[in-house]
Structure 1
């Protein structure tokens, strides 16, 4: 049992539960958030709990509060990295106005349908925020089924519809099982779905993206791929797993999730590099990716920086820019965690997150503005209000 972090007057109240059952976890989260008037609650739920029972029970206990969220591959809690828990954030109604829509049946998702839904969402959001101060600003959160392989299509539809509202988010996880992940909306748990939340706030905020990789001079080209399924069959006209192993200096017999975590590939988009991580080697020697790939895509072998230094620099830069931070809402790739664990830096990273109040979950992929990326920490830092709300 965990105590809530912050008072009802805080802009964001953080709660955590570590109990044996989903109902007990829902009880605990509802109890910790009961005293605040909330615009919404986000919940990040370990696959240790039954997601359908948990969200139904929490919604029953908080019937007047919109609740959104997803299952995780690990939780970013008030104490740092965690597992087998529920982490929740209550957004104070004095500081936030929200509107949200689910996107269902992603397997048959069409961009024009997504644009239509997001246009409706933006119209509702405009009505909800008519009374807001013109100086208030907006951002969006996206939670999406991490097994759907549709993140890029969804992001394309959203960005075509929401104009200048920037989006960050994460792909729901399932521990390290990679079998089924869930998102939450309106008291129910959905697979093959996403939820888009638009948020307007009086508080200062900054979106962020952090990884610890630099490009090397080693380049490769995807020469044969199953684009729909994110499978690379050939790189440089050679079997993909063999050519990847050669490029990063590994034996192909040693390829596993930890290998891919330590040796991601980068793509260059708009002058910046973004990580493209591999999920597994298939029996035919092809590589299954977490992100979209395409024939002709140039992949750059990455070189690692110290992950603690890179993350600390980013957190300090935002703190210096924004002033005192209420919370860093974070979406962190599970492969980033595995890589840090391999370097035996788990304790240091967890402590860094604890000190800076990084709250969120570990993902199967991260969203940052128009991009879907891997092996990255993305999110939004929320500053503190100058004066208490009236």
Structure 2
């Protein structure tokens, strides 16, 4: 059955739908029944890897043949009724409140910085061209990227430099817990080794945000040997990486697994602020494979935790103070935050908090914020309501 129907209500420019149907065709039919069919600037879809991505994007693009449909696969969905899995979530942006310009970035393994800067500049000019003069001046960007491409840092740095002061957030596509292949959707096709840059201009108030629940501890680790291209650290403090990481974060007797890494990320200091660098897995030789770029000589700081629920609730309150009532949060949340919540029996509390605040998006293999690619973070954009 179709889920909660969030049609346009006169003050909000985004409608939301969800399906957990068994087949692609049934899922597309259910989404179409919940969403407006015309006067749309863009449709975004976040798709569980249980569905065939090629079949899905072809069918939903055929269903909404007059609207650009974009999106990606997920490591879990942020649905209207809370955290979910094995579902598809869709957001439809009203043309009355949004204009949208989209550009794919293909063949990321041969990506060059000048390509990203050119694409960002061209898309910024396209958004200005299609946006009525009276509504200009309130844009933001979303980036969706193959979560296994290992090119996020280069792409984000190049894009951010080309967009002047346009704020950008986004997420790295997921593949559940399989880590085999992820997809982004554009023009009726599912692409790997690719990214999407989406620019939206809106007449509604909004804020981009970043939330995490970690603080630096005194424990430091220096990357003394690494395979930079493959994001693998072989030595920390001139000791075998897994052994030294376990010692420094205090889990010597525990088996290293995704739950261990979710509870004990490391931080990197950039420009006076700390950003999480999370570990994906331990290799048979005791090296550590990271979700984010690493480098020899990089100083990693062991993190201490604050309340996951409390820090997220504080972020929502802070945004409401800035822009008033929020109609919707478009969210990109690290898979490891979900695993951390599961480890500490907080899944129900976090899911309910997101339901109450209307967070819609997906669990990621990494998050984008400004020029940064980060981990174990919740980023996104809060869309406010039209003044009554």
The match for 2:117 is 115
Structure 1 residue ranges, 4+ long, deviating more than 6 angstroms after superposition = none
The match for 2:181 is 180
The match for 1:157 is 158
Deviations 1:137-159 (Å, cap 9, x if unpaired)?
11100000001011001001101
Q: Which is further off, 353-362 or 109-118?
A: 109-118
Equivalent pair of 1:22/1:54 in contact (CA under 8 Å): yes
The match for 2:129 is 127
The match for 2:343 is 342
Equivalent residues in 2 for 1:32-111, closer than 5 Å = 32-111=34-113
Equivalent residues in 2 for 1:265-344, closer than 5 Å = 265-344=266-345
Q: Which is further off, 125-134 or 171-180?
A: 125-134
Structure 1, unpaired ranges of 5+? none
Equivalent pair of 1:8/1:36 in contact (CA under 8 Å): no
**Whole-angstrom CA distance in 2 between matches of 1:329 and 1:36:** 21
Equivalent residues in 2 for 1:336-375, closer than 5 Å = 336-375=337-376
**Whole-angstrom CA distance in 2 between matches of 1:133 and 1:121:** 17
Shift of 1:126: 2.0
**Whole-angstrom CA distance in 2 between matches of 1:34 and 1:95:** 14
Equivalent pair of 1:174/1:181 in contact (CA under 8 Å): yes
Q: Which secondary structure does the structure 2 equivalent of 1:254 belong to? A: coil
Q: Which secondary structure does the structure 2 equivalent of 1:195 belong to? A: strand
Q: TM-score, normalised by structure 2?
A: 0.97
**Whole-angstrom CA distance in 2 between matches of 1:22 and 1:173:** 18
- Cα 1:282/1:252, change in 2 over 3 Å: farther
Equivalent pair of 1:118/1:158 in contact (CA under 8 Å): yes
The match for 1:27 is 29
Equivalent pair of 2:37/2:64 in contact (CA under 8 Å): no
Q: TM-score, normalised by structure 1?
A: 0.97
**Whole-angstrom CA distance in 1 between matches of 2:57 and 2:32:** 11
**Whole-angstrom CA distance in 2 between matches of 1:148 and 1:3:** 34
Shift of 1:15: 0.5
Deviations 1:69-118 (Å, cap 9, x if unpaired)?
10000000111000110101101100001111000011111111222222
Equivalent pair of 1:8/1:35 in contact (CA under 8 Å): no
The match for 1:166 is 167
**Whole-angstrom CA distance in 2 between matches of 1:256 and 1:303:** 18
**Whole-angstrom CA distance in 2 between matches of 1:35 and 1:69:** 18
Equivalent pair of 2:142/2:169 in contact (CA under 8 Å): yes
The match for 1:261 is 262
Deviations 1:8-62 (Å, cap 9, x if unpaired)?
6441101001100111111111221134521001000000111110110000010
Pairs aligned (count): 386
**Whole-angstrom CA distance in 2 between matches of 1:29 and 1:53:** 15
Equivalent pair of 2:36/2:92 in contact (CA under 8 Å): no
Q: Which secondary structure does the structure 1 equivalent of 2:123 belong to? A: helix
Equivalent pair of 2:341/2:347 in contact (CA under 8 Å): yes
**Whole-angstrom CA distance in 2 between matches of 1:22 and 1:374:** 31
**Whole-angstrom CA distance in 2 between matches of 1:197 and 1:128:** 14
RMSD: 1.2
Equivalent pair of 1:241/1:252 in contact (CA under 8 Å): no
**Whole-angstrom CA distance in 2 between matches of 1:316 and 1:124:** 35
Q: Which secondary structure does the structure 2 equivalent of 1:5 belong to? A: coil
**Whole-angstrom CA distance in 1 between matches of 2:53 and 2:307:** 36
Equivalent pair of 2:4/2:81 in contact (CA under 8 Å): no
**Whole-angstrom CA distance in 2 between matches of 1:345 and 1:107:** 38
Q: Which is further off, 258-267 or 28-37?
A: 28-37
Equivalent residues in 2 for 1:243-262, closer than 5 Å = 243-251=244-252, 254-262=255-263
Structure 2, unpaired ranges of 5+? none
**Whole-angstrom CA distance in 2 between matches of 1:251 and 1:50:** 41
Q: Which secondary structure does the structure 2 equivalent of 1:258 belong to? A: helix
